[in-house]
Structure 1
Amino acid sequence: MYRTHAPLAEVPGWVWRDVVFFLSGYLITTMMRLEYANTGKLSLRNFYIRRILRINPPLYITLAFIGYLVIVGVLNQSPTALGVLSQFFFFSNYMPDHGTETGLPSPLWSLAVEEHFYLIFPLCFVMAMKCMSTARFAALCAVACAVVLAVRLFNIIILGLGEENYYWTHTRFDSILFGCILALWANPALEVQPSWQAKGWQAMLAVLVIIGTFAMSSILLREGIRYSLQGAALLVIFNYQLQNRNIASKYLRWSVLQRIGLWSYTLYLVHYALLYSMQSIAPDFPPILSAMIALAISCAYCAIMYALVEKPLTDVRRRLTPAR
């Protein structure tokens, strides 16, 4: 994400967002399955409290910090009350500018998509577990993904809309749902013999599919079909990777990567504003120098946020999580 918004970005931003969406769906649904298996239920109350404690405090503190940068003139932006409210209450992805001009400089549309999704999906999970298998629920999720694809195509072909598909919850939540399908249907982390096991050649083909989506230029392919192709490809890639964890496990044990993982949410919230600040303060700096300085400041901010806010709240959230 940081590299995407930095002036030296090469990989399109939607690639990283789709990966984040997919991982979010996979990880959270896996944890929901674990809780249900261990306790025979999913506590919706505890789920929503944990979610609020995870998302809201860093978000509101960071928006206040960015607002201060706007007030003192470090950031040249003129947010409106409605634009800022859309960020505080998670509807910026339905604003005409998606919060980029009328809100504070933080790309929160994707967070809004996730928050809308997790308002509904846990309820669906609880109802589904009472009357069907996880495999059947996964099949229903796949049907929902097909419906979302149809909505995107309808928007483009019939309504003449295109770019809006990128931001709206009802046209993007399938990117999260593909991760949920992996968690429900062929989850190597929970099943000794998953229902389906991707082969190496299939994972390589999936990588090529994602690379191929980089070249999609027509609006029908780019804002209609691409997200479905990427979601299906990510399902194959992560199914294979989870079966062969030794491939990446040695890298994931690096302390630097583990630290970035702990800071990732706050880094997502603050990085764009600090990049924008550096470009405003020092417009003559080489882009890579501005990006590196902004990254250093972002990491310092994240370290403080983690120590003072996120880590203490993590301990509270753990007390709301059933023992395994």
Structure 2
Amino acid sequence: MAALLSHGTDHSRAPGIDLLRAAAIVAVMLYHITSHGIALPALVEHGWMGVDLFFVLSGYLIGWQLWRQYAQGGTPDWRKFMAGRALRILPAYYAVLALYVLLPGWREGGDLQPPWKFVTFTLNLLPDWEQGTAYSHAWSLCVEEHFYLLFPAVAWLLARRPGTLPAVATAVGLIGGGMLLRAWLWRHGVAPHLDAGDTGTAMRQYVATIYNPTWSRLDGLLMGVLLAAVRAFRPGWWSWLMRRAWLSLAIGAALLACGTRIAPMSAAGAVVLFPLVALGCTCLLAGAASPATWIGRRALPGVASLAMLAFSLYLTHKQVYGWLDAALPGLGRQAPVLALLVYAAASVAVAALLYLAIERPFLRLRDRWLSGKAESAAAVISSVAPAGAAASPGPSSAPRATTSDS
């Protein structure tokens, strides 16, 4: 299967980033599988952090894609950027949504909320989890779509006032504002229900007002964007980080370990847990991106294929779990190890089918279209450039961190 999946794909991948992407999807899948009768070690309860790792990776990769163009004195083609994002996300996402609509027997979590919430990426802003939680994991894709829409405008404004201070002030203001907002939401929307002993309502309020909304979950995306800005605009700082990659990995692991000691459903969890986890994931990313570490320069067997399937796996794994629950009732309790293997194998098979049938063709279409645009732009530049003119190497001369999300 690895050979089949690698056919026609980019081989200049960054092994460390692929490893983090693979670790993120495994963490999320294990976290969700415990709700299907398969008992796993307590550490799996913290698998929700895999979503935050995805946020950091997305912030870094998208940030680098845009920041490097500004660092070279250019301006991103926003129409091309948005079209590229649409071809990357929408085909597979809407294909899975169609399965949820057409195959209700495969749903996990009961009923499906109105499809328009999924089509418009407003599920995380207008949730009604009592109506149904099928395809509920799409909330994180809503956050990312909002990021794709808002970040270009913020990047354009910051590019008009270049400098470290405006960028840092903006990031600190957004992260600090998010902490203050979550503190207010906890105090007025969640804590009163906990004090009254109504844990169920408190949990629903926590998910709907703190865990899911975009304005509460920008920490990881922002920290990934900041790391990309360091790489693009402060190459000296970036080189310093790359030389101390093992220290970054150690700090990241320590921060995530501290995060496991904080209960998400608590005042501290609501206020400081998300930025703490985001910072830990950012440190892991800084370490994994460096060729100074073996994970940053050596591809482990199967990791690239798993990373390539990460998006399709994220979209489909809960639906596969729901189908297997109905087809093999009680397997998780009777034979948990066998159930884990069956659920994992079925999830990978369905994700590979989605990738080969939908995701990869549209990625190839995107790459052909973008490369055609780039060749046209290069032809125009060469036709008007003075003889002997050469491009400045700039920050983009560093190896490109290529992943399936770029």
Look up the match of 1:120.
150
Deviates more, 1:15-24 or 1:211-220: 211-220
- Superposition deviation, residue 21 in structure 1: 0.7
Q: Does the Cα contact within 8 Å between 1:128 and 1:137 map onto a contact in 2?
A: yes
Look up the match of 1:2.
29
**Structure 2 residue aligned with 1:129, among 147, 159, 162?**
159
Q: Output aligned runs, 1:218-229, within 5 Å.
A: 219-229=266-276
For the residues of structure 2 that align with 1:258 and 1:178, how far apart are their CA atoms?
24
Instruction: Check if 1:179 corresponds to 2:227.
Output: no
Q: TM-score, normalised by structure 2?
A: 0.70
- Superposition deviation, residue 260 in structure 1: 1.1
Over alpha carbons, which structure has the higher Rg? 2
Instruction: Check if 1:169 corresponds to 2:201.
Output: no
Look up the match of 2:294.
247
Deviates more, 1:21-30 or 1:235-244: 235-244
Secondary structure of 1:102's partner? coil
Deviates more, 1:278-287 or 1:126-135: 126-135
Unpaired segments ≥5 residues, structure 2 = 1-27, 192-205, 376-395, 397-406
- Superposition deviation, residue 36 in structure 1: 3.5
For the residues of structure 2 that align with 1:225 and 1:103, how far apart are their CA atoms?
27
Look up the match of 1:269.
315
Unpaired segments ≥5 residues, structure 1 = none
Cα 1:97/1:49, change in 2 over 3 Å: same
Secondary structure of 2:48's partner? helix
Look up the match of 2:345.
296
Cα 1:238/1:105, change in 2 over 3 Å: closer
Look up the match of 1:194.
238
The list of structure 1 runs, each at least 4 consecutive aligned residues, that deviate by more than 6 angstroms after superposition, is none
Secondary structure of 1:260's partner? helix
Q: TM-score, normalised by structure 1?
A: 0.86
Look up the match of 2:325.
279
Secondary structure of 1:296's partner? helix
For residues 35-61 of structure 1, give each alpha carbon's deviation from its aligned partner in whole angstroms, at most 9, with x where no partner exists: 334570111111111111111100111
Write the letter of the residue equivalent to 1:296: A
**Structure 2 residue aligned with 1:62, among 69, 87, 96?**
96
- Superposition deviation, residue 123 in structure 1: 1.4
Q: Does the Cα contact within 8 Å between 2:309 and 2:355 map onto a contact in 1?
A: yes
Q: Percent identity?
A: 23
**Structure 1 residue aligned with 2:116, among 54, 79, 85?**
85
Write the letter of the residue equivalent to 1:184: A
Cα 1:108/1:256, change in 2 over 3 Å: same
For residues 1-28 of structure 1, give each alpha carbon's deviation from its aligned partner in whole angstroms, at most 9, with x where no partner exists: 2122123454223211111111110111
- Superposition deviation, residue 158 in structure 1: 4.3
For the residues of structure 1 that align with 2:186 and 2:162, how far apart are their CA atoms?
35
- Superposition deviation, residue 232 in structure 1: 2.3
